[in-house]
Amino acid sequence: MSMSISKRLTGIAWASLLTVVAVSAAAVVWRSLVVPALVVDTIASALTLALTTGRLKALREQAFVHEHESLHDPVTELPNRTLFHQQACQALSAARRREATCAVMLLDLDRFKEINDTLGHHEGDLLLHQVAARLRGALRAGDLCARLGGDEFAVLAVDVDSEEDAFLLAQRLRRELARSIDLAGISLETEASIGLSLSPEQGTDVEQLLRQADVAMYGAKRQHLGVDLYSEAADEGARARLELLSQLRAAIAEGQLVVHYQPKVAAQSGLVRGFEALVRWEHPTRGLLYPDQFVGLAENTGLMRLLTSHVLDLALRQCRAWRDAGHGSLTVAVNISTRNLLDGALPGEVARRLEAHSLPASALELEITETTLMVDPIRAKAVLSELAQLGVGIAIDDFGTGYTSLSWLCELPVTTLKIDKSFVMRMTDRSEDAAIVRSSVQLAGNLGLSVVAEGVEDSDAWHGLAELGCDYLQGYYFSRPQPAAAIETWLAQQRERDPELGPIARAAA
């Protein structure tokens, strides 16, 4: 009989039937009771229907979960790029029928990578979750918000009355994000750069509008505007920068990046004491490119470590060559960026480069700007302390143009202040600039630091700075930045001159 019953229970597992029957209201003991075939058929049909219904319900629930997961970001629960595209297409289509204007915004968190690297990915995810909550709270009913990935968010603001209204909404989002957020016991103020594009004025396709907003966002970030609107001129510049970026890595590998050197001379004697290394790109079709045309690209794309290592190697190799040629204990200064300063691997890289060229750490000085220093003072202090332990000199470049607090200046292992050339070049004409230069020299002296004045272009500035007690001078009055071969000739000329006169006195004679 068990064989007959099992054949009738189409598609139902034998063990499942035994379990159900065993716990049924009738409390049937299967092994001791003969059940009529009709009853068995009825039970089988009911069980099949119940199991099928339950299975379908579970499948529907599972499909709903899978669909939700495929269309939403798991960290913030915001729509992802796919869902945003679908919803934005519908919203833009409806807006066109109403002849309404919409604004697409692309928002990128500033310094998110540093926060993520410092506090960890868990805290980074918590920050993204709070950012999403603030964005949702600041937007109007009907506006769309999504996380596209990383620290990028997209917003579609529907029915904006004007370009000005779009700007006001973007500024409101920035203010919301700027309110302090507590993470791991640290109070953080999150800033964001936002790019805008308007529909239908600048297009109706979602991907096109997003790309335009992306161009505007990078313009806002690069120029520290906070919010920027897409323009065709900016787009052309972005395309050119993208093309340049694609060539930069190859340029490093192929030796197209070179270093020019500008001398630093002693203020009292005019004798050369060292050089600042300034990178240039000998582009095969565009000619000689200056740092402001490509260093920012390297900074924003992860090429900065490679570029800095390349410049360090070239500068230290040249410094070794000068010393071997009998030019004395000349030093070389290399500029480092924000990304370099927050890179814990920098001290080790510097030590390896010095060893490779058989140079003492005192032969190298690293220059950082005040702005670079204040991005993350705590991490900067840790990296600078390791460099100082090596014996490398640390100079604050463009001093007077940033926001370095005196308390931080006292705590950092700084050896030199470089007064920004904007003050030096005006000091003979403007009493305010002369006062800033005088105060900077006095501050450096009180802190036991050397002071270098940049932008010296005439003998009046040179003599005035020497009288103030400035230690070293740098500027076109001595020499423009030149390739190493030209500097070799320049150095040879200095050796022929009277050491007591120095190059400045001879040039002024």
Domain 81-230 matches domain 247-331+481-509 at the CATH topology level: no
Q: Where are the domains of the chain?
A: 2-71, 81-230, 247-331+481-509, 336-414, 416-478
Report the candidate in 395, 398, 392, 369 with the shortest Cα–Cα distance to residue 449.
Answer: 395
Say how far apart CA 381 and CA 251 lie, in whole Å.
Answer: 32
Q: Are strands 192-199 and 450-453 parallel, antiparallel or unpaired?
A: unpaired
Contact 259/279 with Cβ under 8 angstroms? yes
- What pLDDT, on a 0 to 100 scale, did the predictor assign at position 358? 96
How many angstroms separate the CA atoms of 509 and 406, rounded? 41
Cis peptide before 200 (omega within 30 of 0): yes
- Select from 3.30.70.270, 3.10.300.10, 3.60.70.12, 1.10.230.10 the CATH code of 81-230: 3.30.70.270
With CA atoms as reference, report the closest residue to 329 among 258, 274, 264: 274
Q: According to the model, what pLDDT value does residue 316 have? A: 97
What pLDDT score does 238 carry? 66
CATH number 3.20.20.450 is the correct assignment for the domain at 247-331+481-509: yes
Q: DSSP assignment, residue 299?
A: H
Distance of CA 192 to the CA centre of its chain: 12
Evaluate whether 331 touches 365 at the Cβ level (below 8 Å).
Answer: yes
3-state helix vs strand vs coil in the chain, percent to 5: 55, 20, 25
Q: What is the DSSP string of 132-188?
A: HHHHHHHSPTT-EEEEEETTEEEEEEEEE-SHHHHHHHHHHHHHHHHS-EEETTEEE
Q: Which residues pair with 279 in a beta bridge?
A: 259
Does this model's pTM top 0.85? no
Task: For Cα atoms 172, 176, 179, give the angle at the middle one, nearest 5 degrees.
Answer: 140
> CA dihedral in degrees (12, 13, 19, 25; nearest 10)?
10
Give the pLDDT score at 367: 94
The separation between CA 33 and the C-alpha centre of its own chain, rounded to angstroms, equals 77
Residues with Cβ within 8 Å of 348's Cβ and at least 6 positions away in sequence, in order, are none
- Cβ–Cβ < 8 Å for 437, 427: yes
Q: In the structure encoding, which two tokens stand for residue 116, read together? A: 């993520």
User: Is the four-CA dihedral 182, 185, 191, 192 of positive or negative sign?
Assistant: negative
Output 116-120 pairs: Cβ under 8 A, ≥24 positions apart.
117/342, 118/376, 118/379, 119/183, 119/184, 119/186, 120/184
Q: Where are the alpha helices (DSSP H) in 344-498?
A: 346-356, 370-375, 377-390, 406-411, 421-424, 431-446, 459-468, 484-496
In tens digits, the chain (509 residues) has pLDDT values of 444 444 443 443 443 444 444 434 444 444 444 445 565 566 667 666 666 776 667 666 666 566 667 788 888 889 988 899 999 999 999 988 888 999 999 999 887 877 776 677 788 888 888 899 999 888 888 899 999 888 899 999 998 888 888 999 999 999 988 888 877 677 777 888 999 999 898 888 889 899 889 888 988 887 788 899 888 776 666 677 777 888 888 898 898 999 999 999 999 988 899 999 999 999 999 899 999 888 887 877 778 889 999 999 999 999 999 999 888 899 999 999 888 888 888 999 999 999 999 999 999 999 998 777 776 778 888 899 999 999 999 998 878 665 555 667 778 899 999 988 888 998 888 888 889 889 989 988 888 999 999 999 998 899 999 999 999 999 999 999 999 999 988 888 777 654 433 444 333 33
CA angle in degrees (0–180, nearest 5) for 241-246-249: 120
Report the distance separating Cα 453 and Cα 277, nearest Å.
16
Point out which residues pair with 418 in neighbouring strands: 452
For residue 435, CA distances in Å to 423, 426, 442 come to 9, 11, 10
- Which helix (H) or strand (E) covers residue 497, if one does? none
Tokens 């904006």 belong to residue: 160
Residue 188 CB neighbour total at 10 angstroms? 16
φ, ψ at 289 (rounded to 5°): -105, 140
Query: Which three-class secondary structure state does DSSP give residue 272?
Result: strand
